[in-house]
Amino acid sequence: MIAGIIVSPIAMQSLGWALLHFLWQGTAIAALAAGAMTLCHRASTRYLLGVAALALMLLAPLATFFYFRQMHSTTAEIVGASPLVVAEQRTKKSVAPTKVAQYSSFEPSREILPWLVQTLLVQTWLVQAWLLGVTFFSLRSAGGFLLLERERRKQSSMVSPRVFEVCHMLQRRLGLNRAISYCECKWLQAPAVIGWFRPIVFLPATALTGLSDEQLEAVIAHELAHIQRFDPFVNVFQVCVETLLFYHPAIWWLNKKIRAEREHCCDDKAVALCGNAVEYARALTLMEEWRSAPVFAMAANRGPLTERIVRVLGLKTLGAGVRGIGLTGSVLCLTAALVAGDALLGLVHPPQVRAAQELQAKPAPVDRSSQSPAGNATSTPKPSAAHPQISESPTSVPSSSSSAYSYIDAMKAVGLGDLTVDQLIAMKIQDVTPEYVRALQEQGLHPDVETLIAMRIQGVTPEYVHGLRESGLNPDQNQLIALKVQGADGEYYRALKEAGIQADVNTLIGLKVQGVTPEYVRELRAAGVTATAEQVIALKVQDVSPEYLKGLHEQGIDPRAEDAIAMRVQDVTPEYIRDVRALGLKPSANELIAMRVQDITPEYIKALQTAGFKFGINDLISAKVQDVTPEFIERARKHGFKDLTLQKLIQLRQLGILDSKADI
């Protein structure tokens, strides 16, 4: 009971309510964040949304605490105005008779006080448990930071001048003017950043010896991107929020998403700066095998390996079905959180306190006939028709209660019996009427209470269901909610069918999520691309526009749907095709994709032609894969080799004949 002694009862009760209410508040914020992040394609936008949601999660219990602190202070004043207290006050000083009459029919000493005592006891134990958890996680975080600082001081040394020069070159290219230290260490297996105001980039011996120069530059750029984006400060903020709100799973889920998106953002910067996504992906694969980095450090091998590598190589396409499921799940979680919050708010005030607040808000009755012309009271005030005395109990059942019973009976008549109080309240709030339930049943739907509430919230009407059925769709209850959330109706489905798209319910949801319109489908067909519903979704996700397809046609490329998707993913633009063809090559769609994957630029082709080589597309791709560069060609010629062909150069590169000892 230490917390109860140190903290005032009102503060203790307010803190307890704030912790309880954060259960539904955190779920609602996480659901909104998940829905918003699902709709965003850029990792940087998803990261900002995650951090903003985390800050909102921290502010929500603070605002709730101050709200309940003010409310409980008002309640305490009402409880203090009981008849016993008023009588005691009248013996000490004059109290207006109307003030006494205002509370004469209300006895909180027998009804409110036990409720307040019980609530305070329960919430005292709740707050104590929360304080123990905060203490544990605070000690855990402090120990982690202290261990990190000890290892930094004990097992670190300055990097070699060559590595230091590479680091400074990358720092200048990123525009970082901060003082950054670079150290070599043996207690980490992957590069990492430690420190906030004076950051230190740690380069382990495994990375310095196990990565190529190009790979090392990419991972160092990744760590410098963390510093440029002030990620260490955000990481400390995440640890603080985890410590304070450790009991809510949404906090841990959101922090995991933020850390993953942070790594994606830094991966994008590293690839943009160094320009070789394949080598960076190989570096990530190697570092995964060495994986070991403290949670409080910004390490390059943090995050799920497969997802990061697929992103770096530009091969990932998020399925529209997954997006639709994510959005539907977010809506359902948000709905459940709001319903739970509404039910929890009903427990904050006992009925007696609410009635007392209403009495306090009413003006006290004054009988003018009881006063003499001089203004002195001459007799006891009597009730009148205009000003009746308050004599009924505040907790008496209102005369309109019969309507509540009629609502229950009507719901039983449509097959919804044995409803709980919470279910009745939620249904009444959302205006779920017996007529609405009966109309849905006529459409062949028999949803349970939770599904009924969700359907009513999303505006699923019997007319909407009838329109979908007339168009040829027969969705189930959950699919109806998802369709309505996305704004897909029978008219949209018929228009897609007229445009040549046959889609089931789930695919229709995916089409609507991605913003696929019948006009877009018709424009694709006019551009020569005939696609299935799934392919249309992928085309829309990758932003394959009719203008892009027209540009490909002008360059002599007539791609199929899957080729157009792959070409867009690999950024095969009409300009790129034009530049390649201007050099005398005529690659097909698949060859163009392979060339772009290997980062074959027109400049690279021109350099090989200038060196006097003749080659086909396959030879060109093989040369790039084997890293046959103009520098390597010059090295081969300096050795006096004659009659060199591109195939012979590739063999020399494969066998390592011209590699120096440094290369070996």
pLDDT (0 to 100) of residue 50: 92
Which has the minimum average pLDDT: 396-400, 445-449, 615-619?
A: 396-400
| Distance from C-alpha of 514 to C-alpha of 509, rounded to nearest angstrom | 9
**Under a CB-based contact definition with an 8 Å cutoff, are residues 337 and 35 in contact?**
no
The arrangement of strands across the sheet holding 298-299 comes to 156-158, 181-185, 200-204, 192-194, 298-299
| Distance from C-alpha of 627 to C-alpha of 576, rounded to nearest angstrom | 21
Which residue type is seen at 87? A
Burial code of 383-402, b = ≥16 C-beta within 10 A, e = fewer? eeeeeeebeeebeeeeeeee
Does pLDDT of 568 surpass 50?
A: yes
pLDDT tens-digit profile of 321-351? 555 666 677 777 778 767 776 666 655 554 4
pLDDT (0 to 100) of residue 565: 92
pLDDT (0 to 100) of residue 404: 44
Does pLDDT of 544 surpass 50?
A: yes
Strand partners, 192: 202, 299
pLDDT tens-digit profile of 590-622? 999 999 998 999 998 988 888 888 888 888 888
Mean pLDDT of all residues belonging to the chain: 76
pLDDT tens-digit profile of 469-524? 898 888 998 899 999 999 999 999 999 999 999 989 999 999 999 999 999 999 99
Which residue type is seen at 610? T
pLDDT (0 to 100) of residue 102: 42
Q: Do the strands 200-204 and 181-185 form a parallel or antiparallel pair, or are they unpaired?
A: parallel
pLDDT (0 to 100) of residue 573: 94
Q: Give 485-496 as a DSSP string.
A: HHT--HHHHHHH
Which residue type is seen at 618? N
Does pLDDT of 9 surpass 90?
A: no
pLDDT (0 to 100) of residue 624: 85
Does pLDDT of 388 surpass 80?
A: no
Does pLDDT of 656 surpass 70?
A: yes
Q: What does the domain layout of the chain look like in residue ranges?
A: 2-139, 155-314, 600-664
Question: The pTM is what?
Answer: 0.45
The rounded percent of the chain whose pLDDT value lies above 70 is 72
* Confidence band, pLDDT 50/70/90 cuts, at residue 52: very high
For the CA atoms of 135, 137, 139, 145, the dihedral, rounded to the nearest 10 degrees, stands at -150
Residue bearing the bigger pLDDT, 183 or 306: 183
* Confidence band, pLDDT 50/70/90 cuts, at residue 35: confident
Mean pLDDT, rounded, for 258-286: 83
pLDDT (0 to 100) of residue 151: 66
Q: Do the strands 298-299 and 192-194 form a parallel or antiparallel pair, or are they unpaired?
A: antiparallel
Cα→Cα distances 64→53, 72, 238, Å: 16, 12, 21
Mean pLDDT, rounded, for 252-272: 88
Which has the minimum average pLDDT: 221-225, 230-234, 323-327, 337-341?
A: 323-327
Q: Which helix (H) or strand (E) covers residue 202, if one does?
A: strand 200-204
pLDDT (0 to 100) of residue 273: 84
Is the sign of the CA dihedral 647, 650, 652, 654 positive or negative?
negative
Beta strands in 410-450 (DSSP E): none
**Largest interatomic CA distance in the chain:** 131
What CATH code would you report for 155-314? 3.30.2010.10
* Contacts with 89 (C-beta within 8 Å, 6 or more apart), sequence order: 95
Does pLDDT of 314 surpass 70?
A: no
| Distance from C-alpha of 656 to C-alpha of 663, rounded to nearest angstrom | 9
Does pLDDT of 290 surpass 80?
A: no
Q: Give 247-293 as a DSSP string.
A: T-HHHHHHHHHHHHHHHHHHHHHHHHHH--HHHHHHHHHHHHHT---
Does pLDDT of 387 surpass 90?
A: no
pLDDT tens-digit profile of 95-133? 344 443 443 344 444 444 444 545 555 567 788 888 899
pLDDT tens-digit profile of 124-172? 778 888 889 999 988 888 887 777 777 666 666 777 888 888 888 888 8
pLDDT (0 to 100) of residue 119: 55
Cα→Cα distances 517→107, 403, 487, 540, Å: 65, 47, 12, 10
Comparing C-alpha atoms, which of 433, 426, 480 is closest to residue 458?
480
